[in-house]
Amino acid sequence: FALLFPLGTSVKAFTLSVHPSPRSALSSLQAGVSVWYSSSTGNTEAVAGYISKAAGDLDFNDIGDATKKEIEGSDALIVGAPTWHTGADEQRSGTSWDEWLYETLPNLNMKGKKVAVFGVGDQQSYGDNFCDAAGELFDLFKAQGCIMYGMTSTEGYEHTASKALVNDEKFCGLMCDEDNQYDLSEDRAKAWIVQLKDEGFF
């Protein structure tokens, strides 16, 4: 198209500058990233919401509704679960994850995909099994060839034992306690997203 300038007006006065909008930058951050969870009481869904908001309003959905195309088509996945079957070696979440991890995940092409795990547990009532299901997600996605991101410090937690530990000082991802430390969850999610950005997850 052509720009018409009034007589006597310099072209310089009409120079247009194009800068990426915050929304455009946000869309670039979100591209290829999906959030998947499953929840029994709503606590894991709440934490998924905090994570989504911190990352710029990512979509988050129940893993039971996921299609093969949605999972394999994502460059990066944020996945989270509660723990209900305490002490179990497998199927620890008591949610859609229990079937999906063992019947669907093994049949997907996941090699090289970025994955970050979050878990929700209760340190006081189930301190011996705090966020065990998060450890199950971590182990099984890693076994499928995924690259795991987002390990966090155990500092500030009061659990006794957890299968979500990768060593004495680190969890396999973000752990939240909506029963006893609900006031910390949103800030923990914000800090975790910053960490994931620094790690090159996004």
Task: Give the pLDDT confidence score for residue 27 in this predicted structure.
Answer: 44
pLDDT at 93: 93
Phi/psi of residue 126, nearest 5 degrees = -130, 50
Cα(88)–Cα(133) distance, integer angstroms: 9
Q: What pLDDT is attached to residue 85?
A: 87
Would you tell me the crossing angle of helices 182-199 and 43-54 to the nearest 10 degrees?
Answer: 40
Contact 92, 84 (CB under 8 A): yes
Q: pLDDT tens across 145-175, in order?
A: 999 999 999 999 999 999 999 998 999 999 9
The per-residue pLDDT for 17 is: 34
At 30, the pLDDT band (50, 70, 90 cuts) reads low
Q: Give the pLDDT score at 165.
A: 97
For residue 129, the tally of other CB atoms under 10 A from its CB is: 24
From 16-25, 89-98, 148-157, 162-171, the region with the lowest mean pLDDT: 16-25
User: Would you call 169 helix, strand, or coil by DSSP?
Assistant: coil
